[in-house]
Chains A and B, each alone.
Chain A
Amino acid sequence: MTRYLLRRLAFLVVSLVLASVVLFLLLRMLPGDPANALTSVGASPEQIAAARHSIGSDKPLPEQFTHWIGQLASGDLGTSFVSSLPVGPEVLARLNVTVPLTLAAFVLAVVIAVPAGFAAAYKRHTWYGALLSGISQLGIAVPVFWLGMILIAVFALNAGWLPAGGFPPDGWAQPAEAVRSLILPVVTIALVMSASLIRYVRSATLDVLDSDYLRTARALGSSFSGAMWRHGLRNASVPVISVLGMELASTLLGAVVVESVYALPGLGSFLATGISQHDYPVIQGVLFVSTLAVLVIGFAADLVQRIIDPRLRDRLSGGAR
């Protein structure tokens, strides 16, 4: 286990370094000059050159890269080209919105999807089992922003129960307001996420229901619920956990659309602004933090799976796959 942890940790670090190199090069390879964003349309070549110099984009690439990596090593995500504000504190502030949004949505999605997926499998021959499968089919086809629009129209504009969007300017200093403004976004993400989760839970449950070991347990007089509790839960959780990890990671990063629908000042909308302004430090900073999150979540999911499944523990390679 220690060896696995060390290997997995090494893999994490190498991935992170590789990802930052790729990220850096990719951004620099893309057409479009960040200096343009700083200057007005009719700027003179001198003004553009000055702008380039001020943000350091006139330096050779290796120098820019070592500069950035050096900053990262000291915990500094750099300074925005556009606003001249440090990226790190801004990212942290945005995480105050995105992390609660993501985690709450994730928990709600799991709370919906696990029982629903189980019922869809266990009761697949009944009408409501089929209905559950049908709803999840429908759910994965609904674009998240449209669901958001509908929820806003129904619960905010018509019923007036909840705000249609925005986040209190002083954030969590107004906890009640902050929570209220996150309810609809959370529900929106959770519903869409649970639709696809249901399919995975259902499939994992079907595997368990079909399994010989469950039959063995029942043939020895174990009740269905007892056998499911002892054998089914753990076996079904192994495939579901890897999916959960991926869903959590991609929700964290992919909240862009929902944040845009509900005008939330989250990480996603920060990135969207950064992209549209060619603000490399912002893009790099957000994606670096996100990559770290993705890798750590993947690590955690891997670890949990290994704790549950001895077959994974006995596999020789401790690497990614």
Chain B
Amino acid sequence: MTGVQKTGQAPEETGRTPGTSSATPAKSVESAKQGARRSYTLIAGCVLAGLIVLLAAVSFVWLPYAPDDTSGTRLAAPGAGHLLGTDKLGRDLFTQLMTGSRIAVEAGLGSVLTAALIGVSLGVLSAFALGWLDDTLAAFLDILIAFPTLLLAMLIVAARSATLGSAVLAIGLAQSAVVARLVRILVKRVLAQDYITAARTSGTSWPRVVAGHVLPNIWPTLVVNLALQFGLAVLAEASLSYLGLGAPPPNASWGRMLQEAQATFTTAPAGALAPGVLLVLLVIGVNLIADGLRDTLDPTARRRRA
């Protein structure tokens, strides 16, 4: 727990009771209405996350100050020269926020890509594997998942050096167990369908079955889960940075900015609030995108919401 919630798997995806899906008109009407409302969720999420991504993109071409410019007055209050004031070394806070957004987005993307690559391969492998191998892998994944992402990440980061790359690799590896378990369940569910048996008996090869039937069937749920993992990865990176295990200075990670501003919370609150607010906005945005995607991509889950 502690900020790094592991499963990320939406509760809505579990335990659907059969038989309740017999669509009475009431339900189809309600779901159509919710579908419309949910796309607002998607839009809201895109706006929030888009704002941060935009900030990150702009930071590549323009920054108010150089990231290592310590010429400002230390701990200046927000004002004319410095939009949000300065930190205890006199660096411009807004500049740091902008470079921090870059790190947050990079951390999220990198971790999710790592988790997707490893998790999907492992999950598909496990689903196709012989009984005992599958069982062993599943049990192994279960144990791995029981450990917080952050702990696994700390182990890996400590062994390597504290860089953004290590953090991304570590978070991605830890998350790949979650993705692998989800993929394994989803693939097994698809493989149990009659049309797979039909495809197999008609002589379609396994790789073709995976590409033609399995992946198209699992990707909606997978994409939604990866979106949730993105938010969790951003939070995990911030936590690692807060503990001093993330990107080293002068890279301004939001987590490290918060750690540095903790001591001066009451005297210079802007530095201790602004990075947190952006962090929350990004994570909420991504979570809203995940919710919105679930409702547009996965019609069975739609009914649950609202």
Contact = CB atoms under 8 A, between A and B. Distances in A.
A200 interface: yes
Interface in B228-253: 231, 235, 238-239, 242-243
Contacts of B262: 149, 261
Interface in B124-145: 135, 138-140, 142-143, 145
A18 B141 CA distance: 12
A157 B280 contact: no
Contacts of A243: 7, 11
A141 B147 contact: no
Main secondary structure of the interface of A (DSSP, over half): helix
A261 B3 CA distance: 13
Interface stretch (B15-23, B71-79, B106-114, B217-225): B15-23
A256 B2 contact: yes
A320 interface: yes
Contact of B283 (A141, A149, A153): A141
Interface of B: 1-7, 10-12, 14-15, 17, 19-20, 135, 138-140, 142-143, 145-148, 150-151, 154-156, 158-160, 231, 235, 238-239, 242-243, 255, 258-259, 262, 265-266, 269, 272, 276, 279-280, 283-284, 287-288, 304, 306
A257 B239 contact: yes
B199 to A, nearest CB: 27
A30 interface: yes
A143 B151 contact: no
A145 B150 CA distance: 13
Interface string A195-206: 010011011101
Given A246-B6, A250-B146, A250-B148, A149 B284 contact: no
A250 B1 contact: yes
Given A137-B288, A243-B7, 8 more contacts: A145-B3, A145-B255, A146-B276, A200-B11, A254-B150, A256-B243, A295-B146, A319-B135
B19 A207 contact: no
A212 interface: yes
A276 interface: yes
Interface string A223-255: 000000000000000010001001101110111
A104 interface: no
Contact of B143 (A15, A150, A189, A260): A15
A100 to B, nearest CB: 16
A193 B20 CA distance: 31
A138 B67 CA distance: 30
Contacts of B140: 18
A294 interface: yes
14 contacts: A138-B280, A142-B276, A143-B239, A143-B258, A143-B276, A145-B258, A146-B276, A149-B258, A149-B265, A239-B15, A251-B2, A255-B2, A257-B3, A291-B143
Contact of B6 (A211, A250, A271): A250
A321 B238 contact: no
Contacts of A149: 258, 262, 265, 272, 276
